[in-house]
Amino acid sequence: MDAPILQLTSFSLTKPNTETTSLLPLPHLISLIPKCTTLKELKQIQAYTIKTNYQNNTNVITKFINFCTSNPTKASMEHAHQLFDQITQPNIVLFNTMARGYARLNDPLRMITHFRRCLRLVSKVKALAEGKQLHCFAVKLGVSDNMYVVPTLINMYTACGDIDASRRVFDKIDEPCVVAYNAIIMSLARNNRANEALALFRELQEIGLKPTDVTMLVVLSSCALLGSLDLGRWMHEYVKKYGFDRYVKVNTTLIDMYAKCGSLDDAVNVFRDMPKRDTQAWSAIIVAYATHGDGFQAISMLNEMKKEKVQPDEITFLGILYACSHNGLVEEGFEYFHGMTNEYGIVPSIKHYGCMVDLLGRAGRLDEAYKFIDELPIKPTPILWRTLLSACSTHGNVEMGKRVIERIFELDDSHGGDYVIFSNLCARYGKWDDVNHLRKTMIDKGAVKIPGCSSIEVNNVVHEFFAGEGVHSTSTTLHRALDELVKELKSAGYVPDTSLVFYADMEDEEKEIILRYHSEKLAITFGLLNTPPGTTIRVVKNLRVCGDCHNAAKFISLIFGRQIILRDVQRFHHFKDGKCSCGDYW
């Protein structure tokens, strides 16, 4: 069987004359690869595959890699690595083959580098099963607890949606380094487990590890997620004490943290004190103004940014479009939307389109919003249609709502919030047959509505309240206080909006009780009980604030002389002296 090899070693490197020379069949060519005795002979076969256009065949490349890794040398593993890089979607078998090659060569550094690269590829395509196989193989080779592999394993599991596995990887480390801490803190923070993330930061400090700027970014983001202003301010002092404020990204994250914790003034102060501001910093302050309802100041900041000759990016325009939407600036919004592409070459993303739908929807231009979505150059997502459905509910347009929810269900019929919004809209206009049909369908589909949850930080502790707590029990101090509060609000002119409770067979008194124990009211009452008079009450809600709670908060701010800052899923509401910063345009 040596003849074919000798024949191949002597062929010309020019393209063979197919009229006089027959090509080797692919199976025959593949069968020759294991018979090579040197890397030089393998490369000659590889040269032949290039001439004959077999070089991209997966079976051929796999055989080449198998040869290079079976009895590896430094040169053969370099060649295997080059071959491996040619494969756009390598499978788990090839990953393992490469890892075995490095293990046989006793080159742990290259093996670890390879593992990290493989895990990043798995993360990119969210291939959890393949990631688990790689993890098992890493255990077998004894590199699973390597300080470079562990963070990559944590990131892989996080990207694939298995946060508990990320935590288990971290918990098995005997002596975790700061990089591992950064990875797990980031994993938890990005998956709404901010309390755990902050607990690990405290643990990192207790064992004497020095945080990095990456640690600061993640911990500040956790404070923002929780709306924990006191903790955020403590972290700001920590940042200044240890010199992390020299990093532009840390300052930018501080702006974002303060804005999300309800302190726009602090966010502005950080921005003004920055010695250097990049596009991200300008975008952060523009978004801060926009989410706090000061759209005109957001636009003013964009003009200032342009004067400083700082180039806006897609996030900058998201903030501007958001500002226009929440301030009713429809024509201005379209000018910025078109200018984003025409002046700066920024291609709109689905989020920019969502802002435009929201802009039209809030203004009551529902037909235009429907047409806008229908004529998009990309396939619309359920979120775009949900934005319009919310606008239909706000403006009481049942017929448009019916058209919109049909489009939503074509894409996704598992989202409980869609059924609730449209059934409530139907109930408001007495269409109880539609309500009953929607609620039955919702049950049949197993769709679940996310319960309302509001949180408030008091004395560095974040307290959470869920909608409905206390409906069947008024024995606690909090519930008794809330009952008395509602009585006082009524004497000042507050009237519970029972039209927001959509049950045909329920008396108004029962509806009032349901409204009374909404999570926002529970959190605000807790704040009144547990903070000194005159203190600002800051509440974070996971959903949109309801109209009745919005109205009640205005009365509370007037009667008790308290400023209430309520952050819901869409924006901030600043209640003071019986008024809200949104101007009731929300």
Specify if 585 maps to a domain.
Answer: no
The 3-state secondary structure of 221-276, one letter per residue: HHHHHHCCHHHHHHHHHHHHHCCHHHCHHHHHHHHHHHHHCCCHHHHHHHHHHCCC
Among residues 425, 537, 568, 547, which one has the least CA distance to residue 496?
547
Specify if 574 maps to a domain.
Answer: yes
What pLDDT shows up at residue 504? 60
* Interval 139-157 mean pLDDT: 84
Phi, psi of 576 (to 5 degrees): -155, 135
User: Tens of pLDDT along 368-397?
Assistant: 999 999 999 999 999 999 999 999 999 999
What pLDDT shows up at residue 534? 93
Distance (Å) of CA 33 to CA 16, 45, 63, 307: 20, 7, 7, 65
Distance (Å) of CA 380 to CA 245, 374, 386, 402, 417: 41, 8, 11, 17, 18
The verdict on 190 and 79 lying in the same domain is no
User: Tens of pLDDT along 524-581?
Assistant: 999 999 999 999 999 999 999 989 999 999 999 999 999 999 999 888 999 999 999 9
Specify if 105 maps to a domain.
Answer: no
What pLDDT shows up at residue 439? 87
The verdict on 468 and 573 lying in the same domain is yes
Length of the chain: 586
Q: How confident is the model at residue 16 (pLDDT cuts 50, 70, 90)?
A: very low
User: Tens of pLDDT along 314-371?
Assistant: 999 999 999 999 889 999 999 999 999 999 999 999 999 999 999 999 999 999 999 9
Q: Single out the residue in 61, 86, 111 at which a domain terminates.
A: 86
Residue 569 sits in which domain range? 453-580
* Interval 172-195 mean pLDDT: 89
Say if residues 101 and 72 touch (Cβ distance below 8 Å): yes
DSSP 15: P
What pLDDT shows up at residue 450? 85
What pLDDT shows up at residue 248? 96
Whether the predicted pLDDT of 15 surpasses 70: no
Specify if 341 maps to a domain.
Answer: no
pLDDT top residue among 476 and 267: 267
Q: How confident is the model at residue 9 (pLDDT cuts 50, 70, 90)?
A: very low
The verdict on 185 and 76 lying in the same domain is no
From CA 87, how far away is CA 95, in angstroms rounded? Answer: 11
What pLDDT shows up at residue 55? 80
Q: Single out the residue in 255, 276, 297 at which a domain terminates.
A: 276
Specify if 323 maps to a domain.
Answer: no
Specify if 366 maps to a domain.
Answer: no
What domain count does the chain have?
3
Phi, psi of 448 (to 5 degrees): -125, 135
Assigned token pair, 132? 């688990």
Most confident option among 227-231, 272-276, 444-448: 272-276
* Interval 101-114 mean pLDDT: 75
For CA atoms 15, 21, 26, 32, give the dihedral sign: negative
Residue 175: count of CB within 10 angstroms of its CB: 9
What pLDDT shows up at residue 252? 97
* Interval 254-275 mean pLDDT: 95
pLDDT top residue among 31 and 236: 236
Assigned token pair, 322? 């958001």
- Average pLDDT across the chain, whole number: 87
Specify if 408 maps to a domain.
Answer: no
Among residues 234, 225, 175, which one has the least CA distance to residue 202?
234
Q: Determine the 3-state secondary structure of 230 from DSSP.
A: helix
From CA 94, how far away is CA 230, in angstroms rounded? Answer: 51
Whether the predicted pLDDT of 21 surpasses 60: no
Assigned token pair, 406? 């049909």
Rounded to a whole number, what is the largest CA-CA distance in the chain?
Answer: 104
Q: Single out the residue in 42, 70, 86 at which a domain terminates.
A: 86
- Percent of the chain residues past pLDDT 90, beyond the cut: 54
What pLDDT shows up at residue 308? 94
Q: How confident is the model at residue 474 (pLDDT cuts 50, 70, 90)?
A: very low
From CA 382, how far away is CA 384, in angstroms rounded? Answer: 5
- In angstroms and rounded to an integer, the radius of gyration of the C-alpha atoms of the chain is 31
User: Tens of pLDDT along 409-456?
Assistant: 999 998 998 998 998 899 888 888 898 899 899 998 888 888 889 999
What pLDDT shows up at residue 78? 86
| 127-141, 230-244, 279-293: least confidently modelled range | 127-141
User: Tens of pLDDT along 239-253?
Assistant: 999 999 999 999 999
The verdict on 460 and 561 lying in the same domain is yes
Whether the predicted pLDDT of 501 surpasses 80: no
* Interval 166-188 mean pLDDT: 91
CATH of the domain at 214: 1.25.40
The verdict on 463 and 576 lying in the same domain is yes
* Interval 284-290 mean pLDDT: 96
